[in-house]
A and B are shown apart, each in its own frame.
Chain A
Amino acid sequence: MIHAYQLVVLAPYAAALVLVAIPGYRVGAVLNVLASAATLAAGLWLMVSQGVVGEYAIVDEFNVVFIVINTLVGFTTALFSASYIGHEIETGRLPPGFVRFYHAMFQAMMGSMNVALVANNIGVMWVGLELATLITVVMVGLYRTPQAIEAAWKYFILASVGISLAFFGTILIYLAGQPALGEGVPAMTWSLLQAAAAQMDPAILDLAFIFLLIGYGTKVGLAPLHAWLPDAHAEGPTPISAVLSGLLLNVALYALLRFKMLVAGQPAALDPGPVMIVMGLVSLIFAAFMLYQRRDIKRFFAYSSIEHMGLIVFAFGMGGPLANFAGLLHMAMHSLTKSGIFFAVGHIAQAKGTQRFADIKGLSVTHPRLAVAFALAVIAIAGLPPFGVFTSEFLILTTTFAREPWLALLPAFGLLIGFGALLLRLQGTIFGEPVGPAHRVDASSVPLVLHLLLVLAAGIFLPPALVAWFQRAAELLG
Chain B
Amino acid sequence: MNQAYEISHLLSGAMLVTSFALLYQQRVAAVLNAFAAQSIVLALAVAWAAWSSNRPDLFITALIAFTLKGIVIPVALRRTVTRLGIHREVEKVVGVGAALLVGLALTGLAQALVVKVASGTASHAREELALALAIILLGFLMMIVRRNAVTQIVGFMSMENGLILAATGARGMPLVVEVSVAFSVLIALFVFAVFVFRIRERFDTVDIEALDRMRGDRR
Contacts and interface: CB of A to CB of B under 8 A. Distances in A.
Is this pair of chains taken from one and the same complex? yes
Interface of A: 121, 123-124, 126-127, 130-131, 134, 137-138, 141, 144, 146-147, 149-154, 156-157, 160-161, 164-165, 167-168, 171, 174-175, 178-179, 182-185, 187-188, 201, 203-204, 206-207, 230-231, 234-235, 293-296, 299, 356
Nearest to B152: A157
Interface of chain B, helix or strand or loop or mixed? helix
Interface in B178-219: 179-180, 183-184, 187, 191, 194-195, 198-199, 202-203, 208, 211-212, 214-217, 219
B195 A146 contact: no
A260 to B, nearest CB: 19
A304 to B, nearest CB: 16
Contact of B191 (A127, A134, A356): A134
A356 B217 CA distance: 9
Contacts of A164: 136, 156, 159-160, 163
B163 A168 contact: yes
Given A175-B118, A203-B119, A296 B217 contact: yes
Contact of B195 (A124, A149, A185, A234): A149
Interface residues of B, number: 49
Interface stretch (B15-23, B29-37, B76-84, B167-175): B167-175
22 contacts: A123-B173, A127-B180, A137-B191, A138-B191, A138-B194, A141-B194, A149-B198, A150-B215, A150-B216, A153-B211, A160-B156, A161-B156, A167-B180, A175-B129, A175-B170, A203-B116, A203-B117, A204-B120, A207-B114, A207-B117, A293-B217, A296-B216
Interface in B135-173: 136, 140, 143, 149, 152, 156, 159-160, 163, 166-167, 170-173
A454 B149 CA distance: 45
Contact of A204 (B118, B160, B173, B176): B118
Given A164-B156, A203-B119, A299-B217, 11 more contacts: A123-B177, A147-B216, A151-B216, A156-B195, A164-B136, A164-B159, A168-B136, A175-B129, A201-B118, A234-B216, A295-B217
B121 A175 contact: yes
Contacts, number: 131
Contacts of A161: 140, 143, 156, 159
B216 A141 contact: no
B172 A184 contact: yes
A184 B211 contact: no
B113 interface: yes
Interface of chain A, helix or strand or loop or mixed? helix
A183 B168 CA distance: 12
Given A123-B177, A160-B156, A164-B163, A299 B216 contact: yes
B62 interface: no
Interface of B: 113-114, 116-121, 125, 129, 133, 136, 140, 143, 149, 152, 156, 159-160, 163, 166-167, 170-174, 176-177, 179-180, 183-184, 187, 191, 194-195, 198-199, 202-203, 208, 211-212, 214-217, 219
Given A141-B198, A149-B195, A234-B216, A121 B176 contact: yes
B96 to A, nearest CB: 22
Contacts of A235: 216
A357 to B, nearest CB: 11
A123 B179 CA distance: 10
A188 B117 contact: no
Contact of A188 (B116, B174, B212): B174
A422 B46 CA distance: 54
A124 B176 contact: yes
Contacts of A151: 216
Given A123-B177, A141-B194, A178 B208 contact: no
Contacts of B219: 147, 356
A144 B180 CA distance: 28
A134 B174 CA distance: 23
B196 to A, nearest CB: 10
Given A134-B187, A161-B159, A299-B216, A188 B172 contact: no
